[in-house]
């Protein structure tokens, strides 16, 4: 039923303990811990290739977790090895709840890390789950050009005004900026998720606006963390090749 996505927007992460990481080749990873808290940003941990240089940098990928007591970092940090192979450095935030997901805090953090050797922080790829994805979608609608791409697990581009008015959910507004055509989206949603129909509608509408959208529907699943499902993870890594 096309009812309010109470489960979709507010569920706690139900996750497997590890990602299906490819261990076929070793990767020399450097972990950098830092903080932009004094500038109004986040405390962060960055996984980056030890071989990255300013001449051969790694593009930034930022993890935003959902509305849960835990950050979910332990579920995505095992993926850093494979992301690094693909040319991405993974950033996670420490001790920040979903209530801290604000555009200004993210921008201040990116400003803080711009001088890290071997890192390309502009236009990051956003790796998101649940409410973290809702935050990224809101930021994308305001300024799609600030991102290089969106990975949205169990997050939905709903019309928030209609939702506040207790109406049936519908697809939210589509950004009109030309940059929207340059920000590919990889969405993952359970086939039993109440928010599935939003992405079905988006598959019809987004291409009309030049948006590069890929939706991976996972059979038998509802609202939960799905990026570490074997087939989904393989599809995600293949999707990253476009960058």
Condensed to tens digits (0 to 9), the pLDDT of residues 104-162 reads 777 788 888 888 999 999 999 999 998 889 889 999 999 999 999 999 999 999 886 65
pLDDT for res 146: 93
77 pLDDT exceeds 50? yes
Delineate the domains of the chain, giving CATH numbers in brackets.
28-240 (3.40.50.1820)
CA distance 126 to 44: 15
pLDDT in tens, 4-52: 333 333 333 344 434 444 444 578 999 999 887 777 777 889 999 999 9
Closest C-alpha to 152, from 230, 59, 62, 46 = 62
Confidence of residue 101 (pLDDT cuts 50, 70, 90): low
Which one is predicted more confidently, 35 or 202?
202
Q: What are the structure tokens assigned to 199, written together?
A: 């992405």
3 pLDDT exceeds 60? no
Closest C-alpha to 202, from 236, 151, 242, 158 = 158
Percent of the chain surpassing pLDDT 70: 79
Is 211 within 8 Å of 172 (Cβ atoms)? no
pLDDT for res 11: 37
Cβ atoms within 10 Å of 54's Cβ, excluding its own: 11
Q: Distance of CA 69 to CAs 95, 103, 232, Å?
A: 10, 21, 25
């Amino acid at each position: 039923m096309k009812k309010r996505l109470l489960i979709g927007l507010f569920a706690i992460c139900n996750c497997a303990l590890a990602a299906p990481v490819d261990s076929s080749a070793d990767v020399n990873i450097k972990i950098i811990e830092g903080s932009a808290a004094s500038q109004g940003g986040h405390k962060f941990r960055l996984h980056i290739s030890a071989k990255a240089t300013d001449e051969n940098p790694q593009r930034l990928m930022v993890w935003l977790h959902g509305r849960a007591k835990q950050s979910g970092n332990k579920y995505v940090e095992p993926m850093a090895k494979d992301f690094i192979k693909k040319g991405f450095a993974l950033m996670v935030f420490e001790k920040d709840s979903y209530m801290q997901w604000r555009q200004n805090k993210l921008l201040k953090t990116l400003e803080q890390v711009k001088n890290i050797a071997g890192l390309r922080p502009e236009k990051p790829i956003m790796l998101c789950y649940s409410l973290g994805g809702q935050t990224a979608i809101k930021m994308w609608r305001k300024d799609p050009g600030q991102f290089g791409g969106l990975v949205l697990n169990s997050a939905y581009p709903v019309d928030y005004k209609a939702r506040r008015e207790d109406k049936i959910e519908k697809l939210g507004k589509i950004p009109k900026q030309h940059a929207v055509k340059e920000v590919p989206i990889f969405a993952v949603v359970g086939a039993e998720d109440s928010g599935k129909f939003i992405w079905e509608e988006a598959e019809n509408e987004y291409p009309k606006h030049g948006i590069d959208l890929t939706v991976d529907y996972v059979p038998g699943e509802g609202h939960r963390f799905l990026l570490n499902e074997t087939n989904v993870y393989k599809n995600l890594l293949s999707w990253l090749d476009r960058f």
